[in-house]
C-alpha cells in the first residue's frame, strides 16, 4: 500500500509540474486568459511605461510579443495555437486577414475614445467602417539625406536619386512594395499599379539606379545613416525621426511625385481569449494623453486629433511628419494586390537585387 501511495504521489507531482511548465510556456508563447492581455506588435513600437500604466489601471497583466514583418505575423495567427488578443498589422495585411477570416469584429461601443481619431483616418478602403481595425500610427515612405555629404545638394524628388554624383551613396530598405513603389512613383505611376508593362519599366529604372545603391538593408539602415556611412536612405517616416534625433545633420523629405501613406491599426485576431481585455487595451491606447505619450516615444505620427494638443508644437507643425493637405493628396495607401500580383512584385524586386550582383 505504501508503494502504491508513493507511486500515486509521484505521479501527482509529475502531473502538477507538467501543468505548471505548460502554463508558463503558454504564457510566454501567447496563450492568454481572463487576467491577461496578449499583445502582438512590431518591435520597439510602444512606450513600455504605458504597458505598466495599463496593468496598474486595469489589473490585467500584459504579455507582449513582437514580430518583424506583416507576413510573419499573419502566418503565426493563421496557424492557430496562439491566442493573441491584440495585433498591430499594416493596412494591406488587414485587408488580407479579413479575406482569410483571421479577425474578429470590434465593438465600437466599447471604444469610446474612438471619437478622438481624425476622420481622415477612418472608413478607409482596407476596412470600411473600421469594423475590424482601429488606427494606431500612420506615416510615409520617404528620403533621409545628409546635405553635408552631398555638397549641399537638396533632394525634393524620387528622380533626384538617379543623380550620377550620388554613386554608392544610397541605402534602400529591403521591401518590395517600398522600392518597386518608389520606381513607379518616379515614373508618375501609382504604387499599386498592376500593369506589367509599367512594372517592367519600373524594374528597368531600378536597374539604372544600381551604381548609386550602396546596399539593401533592414533595421540597420538607421544606424548606418546616423553614423554617416551613407548619405541617402529610403526609410519610413518614424525611422527618419529616430535617425534625425541621433544625427541633426540629416533631413527627411516626402518626394514631390507622391509616396506611400501607410497605417498600422490595432485588430483583434480570431484566436483571442480575452476579448473584453482587448477592447480595454485598444481604448486605453486611444486616450489622448496616452496616444501623445506613445507618439513622442515611438516617433511616428498619431491619428489621434485630440492627442496633438499634448504634443510639442515643433512636432505637430513639422510638415515632414504631418504633411500639408496639398501634399497629403499625393499620398497613396497600399492596396491588397492579391497573391499573384504580389508574387510578381517580389520577383521583380529579387531580379533587381540579383542585377546588383
Annotated binding site for spermidine: 92
Which residues define the annotated binding site? 92
User: What pairing do the DSSP bridges indicate for beta strands 232-236 and 331-332?
Assistant: unpaired
Other C-beta atoms lying within 10 Å of the C-beta of residue 113: 18
Helix (H, G, I), strand (E, B) or coil at 298: helix
Nearest-angstrom CA–CA distance, 172 and 235: 8
Nearest-angstrom CA–CA distance, 279 and 105: 11
Nearest-angstrom CA–CA distance, 201 and 206: 9
Per DSSP, what are the bridge partners of residue 70?
A: none
Per DSSP, what are the bridge partners of residue 145?
A: 232, 251
Other C-beta atoms lying within 10 Å of the C-beta of residue 190: 14
Q: Give me 283's grid cell.
A: 481604448
Q: Give me 313's grid cell.
A: 508644437
Amino acid at each position: 500500500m505504501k508503494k502504491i501511495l508513493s507511486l500515486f504521489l509521484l505521479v501527482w507531482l509529475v502531473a502538477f509540474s507538467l501543468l505548471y511548465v505548460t502554463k508558463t510556456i503558454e504564457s510566454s508563447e501567447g496563450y492568454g486568459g481572463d487576467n491577461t492581455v496578449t499583445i502582438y506588435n512590431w518591435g520597439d513600437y510602444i512606450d513600455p511605461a504605458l504597458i505598466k500604466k495599463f496593468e496598474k489601471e486595469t489589473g490585467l497583466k500584459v504579455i507582449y510579443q513582437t514580430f518583424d514583418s506583416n507576413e510573419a505575423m499573419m502566418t503565426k495567427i493563421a496557424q492557430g495555437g496562439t491566442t493573441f488578443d491584440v495585433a498591430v498589422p499594416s493596412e494591406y495585411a488587414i485587408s488580407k486577414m479579413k479575406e482569410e477570416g483571421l479577425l474578429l469584429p470590434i465593438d465600437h461601443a466599447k471604444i469610446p475614445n474612438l471619437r478622438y481619431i481624425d476622420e481622415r483616418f477612418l472608413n478607409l478602403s482596407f476596412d470600411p467602417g473600421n469594423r475590424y481595425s482601429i488606427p494606431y500610427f500612420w506615416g510615409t515612405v520617404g528620403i533621409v539625406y545628409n546635405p553635408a555629404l552631398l555638397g549641399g545638394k537638396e533632394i525634393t524628388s524620387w528622380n533626384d536619386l538617379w543623380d550620377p554624383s550620388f554613386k554608392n551613396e544610397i541605402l534602400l530598405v529591403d521591401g518590395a512594395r517600398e522600392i518597386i513603389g518608389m520606381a513607379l512613383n518616379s515614373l508618375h505611376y501609382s504604387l499599386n499599379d498592376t500593369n506589367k508593362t509599367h512594372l517592367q519599366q519600373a524594374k528597368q529604372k531600378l536597374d539604372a539606379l544600381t551604381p548609386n545603391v550602396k546596399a539593401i538593408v533592414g533595421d540597420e539602415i538607421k544606424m548606418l545613416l546616423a553614423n554617416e556611412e551613407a548619405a541617402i536612405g529610403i526609410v519610413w517616416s518614424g525611422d527618419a525621426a529616430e535617425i534625425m534625433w541621433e544625427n541633426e545633420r540629416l533631413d527627411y523629405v516626402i518626394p514631390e511625385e507622391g509616396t506611400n501613406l501607410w497605417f498600422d491599426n490595432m485588430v483583434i485576431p480570431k484566436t483571442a481569449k480575452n476579448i473584453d481585455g482587448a477592447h480595454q487595451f485598444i481604448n486605453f491606447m486611444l486616450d489622448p494623453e496616452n496616444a501623445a505619450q506613445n507618439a513622442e516615444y515611438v516617433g511616428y505620427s498619431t491619428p489621434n486629433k485630440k492627442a496633438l494638443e499634448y504634443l510639442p508644437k515643433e512636432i505637430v507643425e513639422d510638415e515632414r511628419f504631418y504633411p500639408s493637405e496639398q501634399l497629403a493628396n499625393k499620398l497613396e495607401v497600399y492596396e491588397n494586390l492579391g497573391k499573384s500580383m504580389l508574387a510578381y512584385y517580389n520577383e521583380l524586386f529579387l531580379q533587381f537585387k540579383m542585377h546588383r550582383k
